[in-house]
Chains A and B, each alone.
Chain A
């Protein structure tokens, strides 16, 4: 139990903390950052949320890790909520010589053994499977698919996407490309789709 002196001391200290905090302002550039974020949100580049600083770092790491996985030939496992079939068809019609990650993963990686055919069929029929054109960036275990996801629209240089495939057009490496990233609850990017014109840029040439 606390006595009156302790109560008074606590009040005193809390006032001190409050006074110290009142003197600390937000960084000067925060207004500028918020304004540019607002402008992007109005133009549709950022749909509804700022990407947290930590998430930005994790995203960069995830993209780099995905690039390494592809370059060393380890196929990402297909995610159940991300049905790569339409992307496969699109790839075949536009650039058959440049296979997409989804195409490779669908043909090479086994389905998670824990999912029964019935469960897979139920998932396929569920509204979650609307996101037909997402391509997995990292292998995802079945239990990871039950969490919630966020979709964040970003703009990145074409070169960053080129690293995920097998060819890079050096002349267009700096071209900006819009993409939707599927972020897990931990902020890590799980999958990507390109949103500029509905085509996947590394297959659009």
Chain B
């Protein structure tokens, strides 16, 4: 425990803070840009991909976020929040721009598309076998992408990226209560939609065996 603490201390002393790197980047330091990118790009990429459902679009957004950071570095104040929150905010704006531009279509990741195209209908005698968990997860992914964008971002931030309500509220720029209510509503919508995707069989009926701890697990 103590060794872990000391190593953390050493690393935090030897590595420059985000704020220092942002300042250096604003002065044209290429290494600072690269270091910040390595530190934070995975978070930005994951958020963008979860919001847009497209790897290519997420790559574009990730690049644009860091270019925007470089160009607006002077505006970043470490005292007002973490760089991660700031980057989420930029990414969110870019995602919204794309969403407005592509309002008529939903981008779905080709990697995630089920190629046989058949709906996950629970019509066999043993629906638990029929509906693999992977397929259920896939249904959930699609349902998330079809959520209205305000609800989608609540799910993506709080559920998929484990941010607190406070952090999500800071990113979205709304009261914490709004995040809570959006999250609650989004969960209801997801349950409804997943239920539909499984041929109107109640999720709880299909998966009840998994919800009860057993020796074998599930």
Contact = CB atoms under 8 A, between A and B. Distances in A.
A18 interface: yes
Given A30-B45, A31-B41, A18 B161 contact: yes
A30 B187 contact: no
B67 to A, nearest CB: 6
A14 B160 contact: yes
Contact of A5 (B67, B144, B208): B208
A27 to B, nearest CB: 7
B204 A41 contact: no
Interface string A1-24: 111011111111110111011101
Contact of A31 (B37, B64, B70, B155): B37
Question: How many A residues are at the interface, by size bracket?
Answer: 35 or more
A114 to B, nearest CB: 26
Interface stretch (B76-84, B113-121, B122-130, B134-142): B134-142
A40 B67 CA distance: 10
A6 B62 CA distance: 34
Contacts of A22: 46
B46 A21 contact: yes
B190 A10 contact: yes
A9 B30 CA distance: 46
B34 interface: yes
Interface stretch (A44-52, A70-78, A84-92, A115-123): A44-52
Given A24-B46, A38-B70, A31 B34 contact: yes
Given A35-B30, A52-B60, A6 B42 contact: no
B174 interface: no
> DSSP class of B's interface residues: helix, strand, loop or mixed?
helix
B194 A10 contact: yes
A37 B160 contact: no
Interface string B16-53: 00000000000010100110011001100110011000
Contact of B67 (A10, A31, A37): A37
A42 interface: yes
B67 A41 contact: yes
Given A7-B187, A21-B50, A42-B28, A48 B34 contact: no
Interface residues of B, number: 51
B16 to A, nearest CB: 18
A26 interface: yes
A156 interface: no
A39 interface: yes
Given A9-B203, A9-B211, A14-B160, A30 B57 contact: no
Given A6-B191, A8-B211, A53-B56, 10 more contacts: A9-B207, A13-B140, A13-B194, A14-B159, A14-B160, A17-B144, A20-B137, A30-B59, A34-B41, A42-B70
17 contacts: A2-B192, A6-B195, A6-B202, A10-B203, A13-B137, A18-B161, A20-B137, A21-B49, A30-B45, A31-B41, A33-B59, A37-B67, A41-B70, A50-B64, A50-B67, A53-B56, A53-B57
Interface of B: 28, 30, 33-34, 37-38, 41-42, 45-46, 49-50, 56-60, 62-64, 66-68, 70-71, 101, 133, 136-137, 140-141, 144, 155, 159-162, 187-188, 190-192, 194-195, 202-204, 207-208, 210-211
